[in-house]
Amino acid sequence: MFKHDKLNLFLFLVLVGLQVLGLVALWTQFQWTYLPIMLGIYFWIGISTTLYLHRYLTHRGFEMPGWLKFIFATGSAVALSGDPVTWVGDHRYHHLKSDTDEDIHSPVHGFPYAHMMWLVRKPPGFRDRSLRYAADVRKIWYCRLWERPAFYVLPHLGMAALLYFTLGGVGLLWCLYVPMLVVYNFTWAVNSVCHMPSLGYRNFETTDHSKNNFWIGLGAFGEGYHNNHHAKPRCAAHGLRWWEFDLTRYIIWTLEKCGLAWDVVWPKPNEETAIDTVTEDQAGALLLFGAQIRDPRLDTKHEKTDRRQ
Ligand SMILES: [Zn+2]
Ligand SMILES: [Zn+2]
């Protein structure tokens, strides 16, 4: 357990400070002209995390052209989502040790730790671990370059300067730091909320506590179907049933149709229909209320899982 490792005070202040900038915006005058820019940046930095860092770089669920990878990689750096080598190393380790004592971010060590505090209490050994677990990522020149903080912050500073000089300080807060606040917390909620035994539902009896959560899926572009993802880590789709809304999946599908994504690891047709035994009404209840209204079949599995814990 790493919960009691030394606090990285500098990183803690940076992460809190970035979120405070997003909150400060709420006390300033919003202008409707900010909205398209804000949504555009939210979409770019959000999809850069889900489609690029997670489904492409960590799990290699598909291939895409080099220029497109660079656009998404830059989006993740603009949001300061974490340098790709570290991000991939940490996440691969999470899949290996999910909800055990060695998991780097599990709510079994407490919700705040799983949500954000794991980032600032990481033991020094994790750096070496990332170098080994993400050795393939280090072969990409810009990912290797961004291992150095001085280079990693450049896309963020560039975007911040651009927004400041075109829209002013208030525009900068609304268009960059509000989207970052939202993306951070939805991404972190995949680690915290989607591993809480009481929130969400399960399609698969995985050995961890992962859950599917519609609300997290909505804000995190489909990443909330985390139990599906733990059951099929390489699959480019996290939402497997037709009603599990997974925006990242639809974007990968569109890219594939446009010839911009290939070798996509899609679920096999029977994998999607085999689990879909719930009616449309039950589907709505599962999505909105998660574990509170359950499909009896899922209920039995849920209890079995609880008994094992
Ligand atoms: Zn997980
Ligand atoms: Zn994953």
* CA angle 280–281–286, rounded 5-degree value: 95
Which ligand is located closest to the Cα atom of residue 227?
1
Q: State in Å: Cα 22 to ligand 1 middle.
A: 26
Which ligand is located closest to the Cα atom of residue 233?
2
* pLDDT at position 291: 43
Q: State in Å: Cα 56 to ligand 1 middle.
A: 16
Instruction: Say if CB 193 and CB 160 are below 8 A apart.
Output: no
Q: State in Å: Cα 85 to ligand 1 middle.
A: 18
Q: Is residue 13 in a domain?
A: yes
Q: Which amino acid is at 184?
A: Y
* pLDDT at position 101: 86
* pLDDT at position 157: 98
Q: Is residue 219 in a domain?
A: yes
Tokens of 24: 């400060």
Which ligand is located closest to the Cα atom of residue 54?
2
pLDDT less than 50: residues of the chain: 291-309
Q: Is residue 32 in a domain?
A: yes
Q: Is residue 3 in a domain?
A: no
* pLDDT at position 297: 43
Q: State in Å: Cα 25 to ligand 2 middle.
A: 32
Q: Could you give the number of structural domains in the chain?
A: 1
Q: Is residue 39 in a domain?
A: yes
Q: Which amino acid is at 29?
A: Q
* pLDDT at position 309: 35
Please provide the size of the chain in residues.
Answer: 309
* Cα dihedral sign, 142-84-236-47: negative
The Cα–Cα gap between 259 and 254 comes to 9
Q: Which domain holds residue 191?
A: 9-308
What pTM did the predictor assign?
0.87
* pLDDT at position 269: 74
Q: State in Å: Cα 239 to ligand 1 middle.
A: 15
Q: State in Å: Cα 58 to ligand 2 middle.
A: 7
Q: Which amino acid is at 209?
A: H
Instruction: Say if CB 130 and CB 88 are below 8 A apart.
Output: yes
Q: State in Å: Cα 230 to ligand 1 middle.
A: 6
Q: Is residue 4 in a domain?
A: no
